[in-house]
């Protein structure tokens, strides 16, 4: 059975949006897609460490706010360059 962590801030997150949360000392980008499904990904972009939680969500991808790299919400993989990815969390 998974260890679940309650994230009260998640209720305030709109669809197609992201925010930064800290869970057990780990910086996480919490994202919500247009269907209201939540995703948790690492919060630092592999390009220049932009804070992913300050970006936006569009068409199932989260967009880094610094230079616009995008990452698939489900896999964390960049469609532009699959070797660039964010860690995903259950």
Binding site for ligand FES (CB under 6 A): 45, 47-48, 50, 64, 66-69
Nearer to ligand FES, 67 or 74 (CB): 67
Provide the minimum distance between the beta carbon of 55 and ligand FES in the complex, in angstroms, as a whole number.
8
**What minimum distance in Å lies between the beta carbon of 15 and ligand FES?**
23
CB of 20 to ligand FES, least distance (A): 14
Q: Are strands 38-42 and 61-63 parallel, antiparallel or unpaired?
A: unpaired
- For residue 44, what is the DSSP state? B
């Amino acid at each position: 059975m998974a260890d679940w962590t309650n994230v009260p801030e998640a209720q305030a997150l709109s669809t197609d949006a992201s925010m930064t949360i800290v869970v057990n000392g780990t910086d996480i980008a919490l994202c919500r897609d247009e269907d209201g499904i939540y995703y948790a990904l690492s919060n630092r972009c592999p390009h220049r460490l932009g804070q992913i939680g300050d970006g936006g969500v569009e068409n199932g991808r989260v967009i880094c706010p610094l230079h616009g790299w995008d990452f698939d919400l489900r896999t964390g993989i960049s469609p532009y360059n699959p070797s660039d990815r964010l860690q995903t969390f259950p």
